[in-house]
Amino acid sequence: MSEVDEVRYDDQGAVAVVTIDRQHRRNAIDGRTAEALVAALERFEADDAARVMVLTGAGEAFCAGADLTAITTLAPRAAGPDGPLGFTRRTSAKPTIAAVDGWAVAGGLELALWCDLRVASARARFGCLERRWGVPLIDGGTWRLPRVIGMGRALDLILTGRVVEAEEALAIGLVTAVVGDPVGHAVALGEQIAAFPQETMLSDRRSVYDGWGLPLAEALMLEMRYGLDVVEVGRRGAERFAAGEGRGGA
């Protein structure tokens, strides 16, 4: 398998499916794979027809984190703008969904946390397993995990390095669904998101990210400013509703 083939990009119209395929290393990432992930994200962001990206892994793992047998290929990326494992220091311009089937551990968990949403199979497993080897979380995990599941639960996972199975991940809010076919479910969810008026959806998403951590008054002002930028889209939608569309929750 060539290095290019280790990150596959599947254009499915409104949804782009990005698959890490290094099954011989449980989809662990080396430097070339990290670069390929950045290229995939940039391709997705440049394609106006692709509105949602699904990130997944081939075979029995989502991603086992950094390839510790090739750690020197990741070291130059540690101080860079993108993050060691690809794009983990960027914020995607459009929604992203992680479809987790199998292991999502160490940096693989951090990649899943980078996504807006996470869905999983019953065999999905999560954990900060780098704790066992003295490897730090440097792909956004210490920032994102507390915001997804809360400080107490995040510290439990970060300090103990224990494995979290799918049902517990659902119970603590780490994933939003446990399903038989996580990729298929994520693609269907992506198509649902892609069908909404995009300007206001993207504006609200941006408000969530940019407003996090701001004092309430500042966050509300930011929300209003972003909302006013797309108020015309909302006005047209309200007119369609008033004319009879969407009645009864349709």
Structure tokens at 53: 């990206």
Buried-state track 95-106, b at ≥16 Cβ within 10 A, e below 16: bbbbbbbbbbbb
Question: In this predicted structure, what is the pLDDT of residue 232?
Answer: 84
What is the tally of helices (H) and strands (E) in the chain? Answer: 9, 10
Question: In this predicted structure, what is the pLDDT of residue 2?
Answer: 38
- What integer is the mean pLDDT of 18-39? 96
Digit-coded pLDDT (tens) for 143-200: 999 999 999 999 999 999 999 999 999 999 999 999 999 999 999 999 999 999 999 9
Question: How many CA atoms, within 13 angstroms, populate the side-chain half-sphere of residue 154?
Answer: 16
- Calculate the CA dihedral of residues 70, 71, 75, 81 and round it to 10 degrees: 80
- What integer is the mean pLDDT of 131-141? 94
pLDDT of 249 above 70: no
- Compute the distance between CA of residue 208 and CA of residue 205 in angstroms, rounded to an integer: 5
- Write the DSSP symbol of residue 80: S
Q: Output phi, psi for 98, to 5 deg.
A: -90, 130
pLDDT of 3 above 50: no
In the chain the beta strands, taken as DSSP E runs, fall at 7-12, 15-20, 52-57, 61-63, 96-100, 103-105, 117-120, 125-127, 164-165, 177-178
- What integer is the mean pLDDT of 15-38? 96
Q: Output phi, psi for 57, to 5 deg.
A: -130, 150
- What integer is the mean pLDDT of 8-37? 96
Q: Output phi, psi for 182, to 5 deg.
A: -65, -35
Instruction: Find the catalytic residue in 42, 60, 110, 199.
Output: 110
- Told to judge if 165 belongs to the known catalytic residues of this protein, a careful annotator would answer no
Digit-coded pLDDT (tens) for 216-246: 999 999 999 999 999 887 678 666 766 676 6
Neighbours of 3 (CB within 10 A): 13
Digit-coded pLDDT (tens) for 89-130: 999 999 999 999 999 999 999 999 999 999 999 999 999 999
Question: How many CA atoms, within 13 angstroms, populate the side-chain half-sphere of residue 241?
Answer: 11
- What integer is the mean pLDDT of 58-66? 96
- What integer is the mean pLDDT of 13-22? 97
Q: Which amino acid does the sequence have at 205? A: R
- Compute the distance between CA of residue 111 and CA of residue 97 in angstroms, rounded to an integer: 10
Question: In this predicted structure, what is the pLDDT of residue 5?
Answer: 74
Instruction: Find the catalytic residue in 3, 42, 60, 130.
Output: 130
Q: Output phi, psi for 104, to 5 deg.
A: -130, 85
Question: In this predicted structure, what is the pLDDT of residue 164?
Answer: 98
**For residues 244 and 139, which has the higher predicted lDDT (pLDDT)?**
139
